[in-house]
């Protein structure tokens, strides 16, 4: 194989990460045609997508995560997560979700999104999947996963289900360390791979693999660099690809193998598109893959196969039907989010009547303040979110609450500050967000200090009800009080749960996971 051909093939199989720290290197790789795929993000993904396409001498595939819609974009919208669809249980909503999100992705300039999540969340202590999954039951995940496949196909966007072969039964975040999926080969086939067979029948072609060690398949290599796993994917399941690695910047991989070396190893194992490590210069991963293709560690046949799959996808993406107008896409996205949120709202210990909060109701919210744009110190010194936290805005439509915003791990000093307000209040409504996020390492349950706070408020006799958003497993940490659960922190979930609390909407959702209390 001549050098020109080699360089053109390598350009097809690497995926840049849109990393600000290495923007100059990434732009140069694209401009020179050395890498022709990239993740996009930021507040204006469309502008970055347009810039990359202008730079590139050939077609590009541009991708992003959109598990909760496009809230990361300035003109985007966050929508309920997959577990909300699990609570609603309706295939029509799952198809509508995927169709609306897929079209929104195309509006933003994307060609591919890494979705749906087909992990079956059988481990309640899983710190990274949780509400990203449809639930704990393989039939539910399979049924709704296939429905989302149909919706994505309708939208025209390409999509890759994840995290193959299954990230649901682990208790470690693979962003932090390598999880062990210590199950039999028979169990893997019967449970973890079950949703992928249903999705394949519905038209799934691509997956994103997980950084996992599954000893029953390969006791030495994580999935990312394991030819044995990729043989199952292509042979047993018959999924043609192109197939993506997960980010090679995740510590689950980086702590076991050099991430630049892993780039060529993943390609040799059977992946077609490699998401290079964004924590180091992309030039290092590019050089490692190029060297391995030159000396035969990546066989020429494997490189040609991967590049051919990517080029075939690019050709297909170039011939998609036009999108509806942007206003129509937005209206459909908003309508879908509202429908899913209202269909998924779930009640516990609920008789259906709105609690009496009296004339001086106090609203206490515990949340991860950093994601709201504030550090904890900002909240403590400036009052921060008291007037503009989205839950405050949603609840003040129903009652004149006095809000108090606390960090998710409140300190004893917060008790002292609350004492005077609690004395004056006629009743208290508690709101908490059990947030799951990368590198956090927990979040399925509430911090002990927060659990103690809710118990003390319950013992005071003034805590009348709770609103819980995100991880439903945190129900185990709340007092035995009327509680309404919303599975996301998006605007539609906040509106639906607060309306249900005040009797304006029913709570038709059912918990898609087992809560032990």
8 A C-beta contact, residue 271 and residue 230: yes
Q: How far apart are CA 182 and CA 188, in angstroms?
A: 10
Q: What does the alpha-carbon distance between residue 363 and residue 123 come to, in Å, rounded to a whole number?
A: 33
SS3 328: helix
* Cα gap 470→373, rounded to integer Å: 19
Rounded distance, CA 82 to CA 120, Å? Answer: 11
> Among all chains, which residue has been given the structure tokens 């509202």?
338
Return the structure tokens found at 274.
């490699």
Element (H, E) at 456: helix 448-459
Question: Quick check: helix, strand or coil at residue 16?
Answer: strand
Alpha-helical regions (H) of 203-362:
227-231, 251-254, 259-269, 282-295, 300-317, 326-344
Q: State phi, psi for 474 to the nearest 5 degrees.
A: -70, -10
3-state secondary structure 406-444: EECCCCHHHHHHHHHHHHHCCEEEEEEEECCCCCCCCCC
- 8 Å CB contact between 154 and 102: yes
- Give the separation between CA 456 and CA 329, rounded to whole angstroms: 46
402-407/427-434 β-pairing: unpaired
Asked whether the beta carbons of 97 and 150 are under 8 A apart, the reply is: no
Q: How far apart are CA 450 and CA 445, in angstroms?
A: 10
Contact 329, 469 (CB under 8 A): no
Q: How far apart are CA 72 and CA 25, in angstroms?
A: 24
Q: How many CB atoms lie within 10 A of CB 18?
A: 21
Query: Which residue in 167, 175, 211, 271 is the catalytic one?
Result: 175
Q: Collapsing DSSP states into helix, strand and coil, what is residue 162?
A: strand
Order of strands across the sheet that contains 206-209? 37-39, 61-64, 112-113, 158-164, 206-209
Catalytic site includes residue 175: yes
**Which candidate in 246, 277, 367, 414 is catalytic?**
246
Pairing outcome for strands 346-348 and 483-486:
antiparallel
Q: Helix H segments across 77-182?
A: 82-88, 91-107, 138-155
Catalytically active residues, by annotation? 175, 246
């Amino acid at each position: 194989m001549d050098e020109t051909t080699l360089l053109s093939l390598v350009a097809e199989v690497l995926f840049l990460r849109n990393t600000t720290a290495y923007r100059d290197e990434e732009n140069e790789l694209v401009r020179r045609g050395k890498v022709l795929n990239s993740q996009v993000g930021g507040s204006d993904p469309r502008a970055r997508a347009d810039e990359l396409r202008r730079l590139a001498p050939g077609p590009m595939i541009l991708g992003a995560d959109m598990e909760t819609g496009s809230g990361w974009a300035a003109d985007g919208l966050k929508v309920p997560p997959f577990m909300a669809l699990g609570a609603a249980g309706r295939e029509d909503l799952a198809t509508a979700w995927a169709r609306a999100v897929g079209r929104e992705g195309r509006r933003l300039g994307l060609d591919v999104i890494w979705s749906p999540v087909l992990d079956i969340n059988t481990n309640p202590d899983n710190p990274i999947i949780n509400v990203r999954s449809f639930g704990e039951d393989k039939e539910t995940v399979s049924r709704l996963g296939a429905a989302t496949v149909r919706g994505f196909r309708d939208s025209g966007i390409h999509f890759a289900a994840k995290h193959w072969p299954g990230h649901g039964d682990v208790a470690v975040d693979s962003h932090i360390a390598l999880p062990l999926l210590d199950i039999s080969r028979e169990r893997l086939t019967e449970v973890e791979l079950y949703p992928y067979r249903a999705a394949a029948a519905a038209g799934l072609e691509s997956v994103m693999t997980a950084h996992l060690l599954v000893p029953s398949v390969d006791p030495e290599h994580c999935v990312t660099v394991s030819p044995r796993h990729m043989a199952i994917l292509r042979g047993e399941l018959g999924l043609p690809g192109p197939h993506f690695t997960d980010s090679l910047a995740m510590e689950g991989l980086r702590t076991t193998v050099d991430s630049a070396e892993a780039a060529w190893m993943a390609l040799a194992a059977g992946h077609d598109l490699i998401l290079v490590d964004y924590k180091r210069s992309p030039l290092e991963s590019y050089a490692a893959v190029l060297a391995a293709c030159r000396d035969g560690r990546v066989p020429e046949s494997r490189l040609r196969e991967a590049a051919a799959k990517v080029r075939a996808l690019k050709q297909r993406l170039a011939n998609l039907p036009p999108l509806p107008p942007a206003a129509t896409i937005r209206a459909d996205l908003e309508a879908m989010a509202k429908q899913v949120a209202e269909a998924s709202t779930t009640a516990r210990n609920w008789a259906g009547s709105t609690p009496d909060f009296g004339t001086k109701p106090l609203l206490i919210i515990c949340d991860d303040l950093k994601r709201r744009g504030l550090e904890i110190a900002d909240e403590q010194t400036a009052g921060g979110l008291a007037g503009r936290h989205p839950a405050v805005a949603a609840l003040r439509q129903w009652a004149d609450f006095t809000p108090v915003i606390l960090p998710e791990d409140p300190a004893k000093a917060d008790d002292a500050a609350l004492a005077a307000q609690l004395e004056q209040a006629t009743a208290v409504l508690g709101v908490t967000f059990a947030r799951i996020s990368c590198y956090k390492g927990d979040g399925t349950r509430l911090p002990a200090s927060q659990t103690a706070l809710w118990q003390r408020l319950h013992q005071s006799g003034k805590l009348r009800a709770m609103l819980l958003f995100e991880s439903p497993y945190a129900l185990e940490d709340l007092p035995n009080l009327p509680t309404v659960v919303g599975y996301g922190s998006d605007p539609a979930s906040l509106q639906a749960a607060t309306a249900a609390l005040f009797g304006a909407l029913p709570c038709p959702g059912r918990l898609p996971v087992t809560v032990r209390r």
